[in-house]
Amino acid sequence: MTLEDLEARIAERAAASPEESYTAKLIARGINKAAQKLGEEATEAVIAAVTHDRAELVKESADLLYHLLVVLKVEGVPLSEVMAELDSRTAQSGLAEKAARKDNA
Ligand SMILES: N=c1c2ncn([C@@H]3O[C@H](COP(=O)(O)OP(=O)(O)OP(=O)(O)O)[C@@H](O)[C@H]3O)c2ncn1[C@@H]1O[C@H](COP(=O)(O)O)[C@@H](O)[C@H]1O
């Protein structure tokens, strides 16, 4: 499974009935609920990381990526746009990118 596969699955399930699909149910509840779930999963991943709970970190990371893709779907942002942003950063180090952002702020 790639993130692109998951993005396609989410797009497919978005059209399903909320009674039979968690994705459809979450999308029907709107961006505030989807964003709240994203925040919760991020927090759970952070807790797993700082408590060195490796198995939980793997599970929470999967939840986090899924909920991020749902939020991107609701907001109409294709994953390819996020990947293109990451791609554009490979030309420089993360520290140089951070300094450039500060200069532009
Ligand atoms: N990867 C996921 C995935 N990860 C997490 N989850 C769901 O995310 C939910 C998070 O758990 P919570 O207890 O926080 O959720 P909850 O109790 O419903 O949340 P509240 O609304 O009560 O806050 C669980 O119900 C998980 O099943 C996912 N649901 C779906 N997918 C993927 O999406 C596909 C389509 O799923 P459906 O849309 O359900 O058909 C699946 O085949 C998977 O590939």
pLDDT level of residue 95 (50, 70, 90 thresholds): confident
Q: Is residue 63 part of a domain?
A: yes
The residue type found at 41 is E
103 alpha carbon to ligand 1 midpoint, in Å? Answer: 40
52 alpha carbon to ligand 1 midpoint, in Å? Answer: 24
Q: How many degrees, rounded to 5, is the angle at CA 20 between CA 19 and CA 26?
A: 70
The tally of domains found in the chain comes to 1
The pTM of the full predicted model, rounded to 2 decimals, is 0.90
Domain hosting residue 46, numbered range: 3-78
* Ligand 1 interacting residues, C-beta cut-off 6 A: 9, 13, 21-24, 63, 66
Average model confidence (pLDDT) across the chain = 95
Q: Is the ipTM of this complex over 0.95?
A: no
Q: Is residue 105 part of a domain?
A: no
Q: CA–CA separation, 30 vs 36, rounded Å?
A: 10
